[in-house]
Structure 1
Amino acid sequence: MDAIQNIIQLLWDAFTQPIRIGEMSISVQLIVTLFFAFIAFVFISNFLSNLLRDKILVKLKFDEGSREAIATIFRYFTITVGCLLIPQAVGLDMRSFSFLAGGLGIGLGFGFQGLAQNFVSGLILLLERPVKVGDYIELDNLEGTIRKISIRSTIIVTNDGISIIVPNQILVNNKIINWSHGNIVSRIHIPVRVAYGSDPVLVTEVLLSAARQESRVLSHPKPQVWLTDFGENSVNFDLLVWIDLPKARLPIQSSLNYIVQNKLYQNNINIPVAQRDLWIRNIDQLRQTFYPHSSPQPPPIESGEIDNQNLTLQSLLRKVLYFQGFTDLELLGLIEMGYREAVPPHQFIFHEGDRGDAFHIILSGTVEILAETANKHIRDLTAGDFFGELALIMGIPRTAAVRTKETTILFVVSRDVFQRFLSSYPSLSDQIAEKLAERKEELVQRQKMLREMGILGDEDLEQNPLIWIKKRMKALFGI
């Protein structure tokens, strides 16, 4: 029994016996105490930083990147404080290590030069925040979302779900495209090449129609089409669209490419390939030389009337009286302001009381105007007529319902561009005012409603409806 006690006492003395190294005294007990103290302090630091990030900062409504940056800085700050305080708390004099600082400092400076650069770069990323957690970035050929910024490296998750660890100094020293920085609304370019001889107005219509078919493309700012240059084998266009989903940029581009290719095919617009065409001028003479007894070619068969739904928007607009004298460039500007919509028979375009959100011009077909509350048919409108202007000009809900009587093709101008539309086409603005003036009884009722709402003063519609309407259009749209 005494032998066991002697062994235990011997081990305890060895565990606690200080060893002098120069002016420093250190023991195994001190080393173990330091180790477990550091482990406990790191655990507490991580717990507090996670609590700060996931609870406190969330309640304070900080964004994800700010929460991660603040929590990371807090964690490393507390660990640094722990490295300074714990040794002194357990009785270790830090001044004893001063003799090691000079020699080790030089060696560590060379050996850990890259680590030091990444450490400083990590601090820059956390403090300046050129990128933050949750941002979608593009670095050389790498695209992905930042998932974590540590003091040495940053973790980026690509669109394929692969986590890539990038040293912080690369993010600091290289050019980065941050799609999420500031305003997340960004514009993307879809290059389109078409064959020479293609109608540029038709190409513009097709590309804008393709943009509107992709639901993730923003309607404001509006999509645009630029004719960029004339290539060796093609006329080159750019379809420019705005999105607010930077992470979905590549899928949106792919979707638009599919839609554009399908639209070009439907409208017989060729995408050129590098080739050489041989044109023979005197084909009839050559035919007679090689085939003297062949019969002449029959004349081409004239096609019948083309279905209006297969006509281009450019052709349909030219059928409308207001636009018959428009040049191709003027029609291009018109097409950029609106879009074509085909509505099946017996379908409501809008109901009485709906919010006025668009102006419609009938390109083909027939619609009927209905007073739904009174269950009364008011009138029919055909190609060249327009409707929906009253709610926009007077700033009131729809005064009647509109329903198609047959398949009807409409040119639709949305509310947000209606002002520019009227300003660009003052002759049409005058015709709209004249048409409204003919509906005097309805206007009197609507004027009374606006007076009751306190929107209008004591203007007298009875004197001259046309003048009152033009004043109203000027007040609302500056026309």
Structure 2
Amino acid sequence: MLESIEKLLVNLGQLFTTPLLYIGDTNISLSLLFQLSIYLIIALLLGRIFKNLLTKVLLVKLGIDKANREAISTIFSYGISSLGILVILQTQGFNVSSLAVLAGGLGVGIGLGFQNITKNFISGLNVLIERPIKIGDFIQLENDLGFVEEIGLRSTRIRTLQDSHVIIPNGMLIEGKIHNLTYDNFQGRIEVDVFVSDDSDPVLVTEAILMAAYMEPAVLREPHPKVLFLGFEDNAFRFQLWAWVNEIYNEPLYMSSLRFSIQHNLDKQGVLVPWDHFNIYFHHPPHSKNSESSPNTILHGLKNYESISDKPLSARDLLKQVTYFENFTNLELRKLIEVGYRKRLKRLDFLFHEGEPGDTFYIILSGSVEVFVEKINKHLITLKAGKFFGELSLMLGIPRTASVRAIEDTILFAIHKKGFEKMLHENPELAEVIVQEFGKHQEELLERQNELREMGLVDAQEYDKNILVWVRNRLKNLFNLN
């Protein structure tokens, strides 16, 4: 019995040690293959551990961002694993140079059989080195839209907005067209189409859309939102809102919120969207007196604007009450509205303090503010919805002579110097329109000029007895006009 067991063990030993083939001077046996398998698994595990150590500890301490950490650790881990495999082969007696010859001989056959794997492998290296995308980017590839979560040598994993995962071969990333929505940052522009009845007031529509944009917390103030008039559809005007946000991947949420707000504002202003129309058709008998006219008469159903009791104040109408803008055309007023923005104040919030630069003009759309001298706590006046202030401070660069704070929650329409300057550069003829309007109120201008002289803001070189020449030159200097 013992002899049989010993004989069996000897035969098994011979089976594991008997050479199966020779590679150079090295004989390959089952025992060697088993050892190599164990060593290779250990080398790959060490490579994975080294990658995690780099990603989560070492590179974090060096202050390297997540995307760069992932790329660096991936390349290093594959390098360490490859080096470990070569060391293992050398220690097991393999002649690496002879393996290179063998690999070269098999390369053509392997390349033909595994060309897609090879292509994805090389593409993965390109992605990691050139970095057209990186971990955390928000990308669109064909119909797939999501965040890049992992970049491997063969494929890249993307997490979609629906929280599913898409595995994309790296070859597609190199050969396909990638829309990287967050290449430099997560800021992006969203576009909302708005259709209104073709009998609507375009300026009023522009104002309602911009109001919605400025009331959306996610919308950036710079670049400021824009409204484009894109054209004429059947029974409709087509507008488009451009709004910039910091987190473009939340576009569906922002679009929904803006549509709700736009619809609300249009409804309050009595502006119809096309599907609010109703058509009434009168069919005339073939032999009636009206048979020569069109067989169908179309009437549009319109809301009665005057019946809207809570219609909000229009910045366009309020601007026309400002002395210096009262003769502006609707097109000129629209340009003012486009460069303006909405500002919210909570109760007791300060708008500005006395002595600060007078670089913004305000109209109160809702709520009220108190104007007072802060140093002596003296109340001057209370301004309510529909009132405006600061127009001369904006256009002549006059510092604030009093402080302003909100008495209640207040919404203001504001035109800042930067936006006003941009408008004048784009429409230089408006500067002369303003100068001519100033000419109708020369007594007030003389008072303002004297105030500036007393504060030392008008020197002898700038002073001119012709008040219009002085205003024209001051506008040129303040707003860098030619």
Report the TM-score, using the length of structure 2 for normalisation: 0.77
Hey, what does 1:335 align to over in structure 2? 337
Taking a change above 3 Å as real, the CA distance of residues 167 and 331 of structure 1, as seen in their structure-2 partners, is: same
> Are the counterparts in 1 of residues 215 and 342 from structure 2 also a CA contact under 8 Å?
no
Partner of 1:149: 151
Q: Which amino acid aligns with 2:379?
A: H
Specify the alignment match of 1:295 in structure 2. none
2:208 matched residue in structure 1: 206
Work out the CA distance in 2 between the residues paired with 1:399 and 1:339.
23
Q: Distance in 1 between matches of 2:408 and 2:34?
A: 89
Instruction: Specify the alignment match of 1:325 in structure 2.
Output: 327
What per-residue deviation string (whole Å, max 9, x for no partner) do you get for residues 411-455 of structure 1?
Answer: 3113432434677445547849975763678656754xxxxxxxx
Query: Displacement, 1:336?
Result: 0.5
Alpha-carbon offset, residue 370 of structure 1: 1.1
User: Partners of 2:324 and 2:259 in 1: how far apart?
Assistant: 34
Deviation at 1:200, TM superposition (A): 1.2
Pick the aligned partner of 1:387 from 386, 390, 393: 390
Alignment of 1:174-253 (within 5 A): 174-253=176-255
One-letter amino acid matched to 2:227: V
Equivalent of residue 374 in structure 2, options 366, 372, 381: 372
CA RMSD of aligned residues (A): 4.4
Partners of 1:391 and 1:325 in 2: CA distance: 19
Give the aligned partner of residue 453 of structure 1.
none
- Counterparts in 2 of 1:406 and 1:239: CA distance versus 1, 3 Å: closer
Q: 1:324 to 1:133 in 2, by over 3 A?
A: same
Distance 1:277 1:463, change over 3 A: closer
Counterparts of 1:213 and 1:200 in 2: how far apart (Å)? Answer: 20
Which residue is 2:262 aligned to?
260
Q: Is the 8 A contact 1:33 1:90 kept in 2?
A: no
Which AA in structure 1 matches 2:389?
Answer: F
Alpha-carbon offset, residue 178 of structure 1: 0.5
1:10 aligns with 2:10: yes
Residue type of the alignment partner of 1:155: R
Q: One-letter code of the match for 2:447?
A: E
- Please tell me the residue identity of whatever aligns with 2:111: G
Alpha-carbon distance, 1:159 to partner = 0.9
Residue 438, structure 1, aligned to residue 447, structure 2 = yes
Equivalent in the alignment of 1:160: 162
Secondary structure of 2:147's match? strand
Counterparts in 2 of 1:4 and 1:256: CA distance versus 1, 3 Å: farther
Partner of 2:298: none
Deviation at 1:33, TM superposition (A): 2.6
Separation in 1, partners of 2:277, 2:373: 61
Q: CA deviation at 1:95?
A: 5.6
Q: Any conservation in 1 of the 2:195–2:237 contact (CA below 8 Å)?
A: yes
- Normalising by structure 1, we get a TM-score of 0.77
Corresponding letter in the other structure for 1:268: G
Does the residue aligned with 2:222 lie in a helix, a strand or coil? coil
Structure 2 residue aligned with 1:416: 418
Q: Which residue of 1 aligns with 2:294?
A: none
The aligned residue for residue 32 of structure 1 is 34
Unaligned runs of 5+ in 2: 289-303
CA contact (8 A) 1:233 1:274 kept: no
8 Å CA contact 1:317, 1:363 repeated in 2:
no
Q: Which sits farther off after the overlay, 321-330 or 162-171?
A: 321-330
1:113-132 correspondence to structure 2 within 5 Å: 113-132=115-134
Residue number in structure 1 paired with 2:86: 84
Q: Which position in structure 2 is the counterpart of 1:312? A: 314
Change (3 A) 1:353 1:161: farther
Query: Aligned with 2:191: secondary structure?
Result: strand
State the alpha-carbon separation in 2 of the partners of residues 407 and 51 from structure 1.
53
Question: Do the aligned partners of 2:325 and 2:434 also contact (CA within 8 Å) in 1?
Answer: no
For residue 5 of structure 1, report the CA deviation from its aligned partner. Answer: 10
- The amino acid of 2:226's aligned partner reads Q
Q: Identity of counterpart residues, as a percentage?
A: 37
Distance 1:165 1:3 in 2: 58
Give the Cα separation in 2 of the matches to 1:158 and 1:178: 14
Whichever residue aligns with residue 339 of structure 2, its letter is: M
For residues 2 and 367 of structure 2, the distance between their equivalents in structure 1, rounded to whole angstroms, comes to 113
- 1:122, CA displacement in angstroms? 1.1
Q: Quote the offset at 1:89 in angstroms.
A: 1.6
Contact 2:218 2:245 in 1 (8 A): yes
Q: Secondary structure at the match of 1:310?
A: coil
Q: Report the number of matched residues.
A: 452
CA contact (8 A) 1:390 1:436 kept: no
Q: How does 1:42-61 map to 2 (within 5 A)?
A: 42-61=44-63
Question: Partner of 2:319: helix, strand, or coil?
Answer: helix
CA distance in 2, matches of 1:152, 1:433: 76
Give the letter aligned to residue 239 of structure 1. L
Task: Please give the per-residue CA displacement for 1:329-360, whole angstroms capped at 9, x wherever unaligned.
Answer: 11111110214668799875444467767322
Q: Which moved more, 1:302-311 or 1:336-345?
A: 302-311
How much does 1:462 deviate? 10
Aligned-residue offset at 1:135: 0.5
Deviations 1:31-90 (A, max 9, x none): 233222222222222232333333343344433222211211112222222333321122
- Cα 1:464–1:137 change in 2 (3 A) is same
Displacement of 1:113: 2.4
**Does the 8 Å contact 1:308/1:364 carry over to 2?**
no
Quick one: structure 1 residues 6 and 138, their matched pair in 2 at CA, closer, same or farther if it must change by over 3 Å?
Answer: same
Query: Which piece of structure 1 moves more, 34-43 or 21-30?
Result: 21-30
- Amino acid of the residue matched to residue 402 of structure 1? V
> How far, CA to CA, are the matches of 1:211 and 1:363 in structure 2?
16
CA distance in 2, matches of 1:355, 1:7: 103
Instruction: Mark the CA change 1:72 to 1:365 in structure 2 (over 3 Å): closer, same or farther.
Output: closer
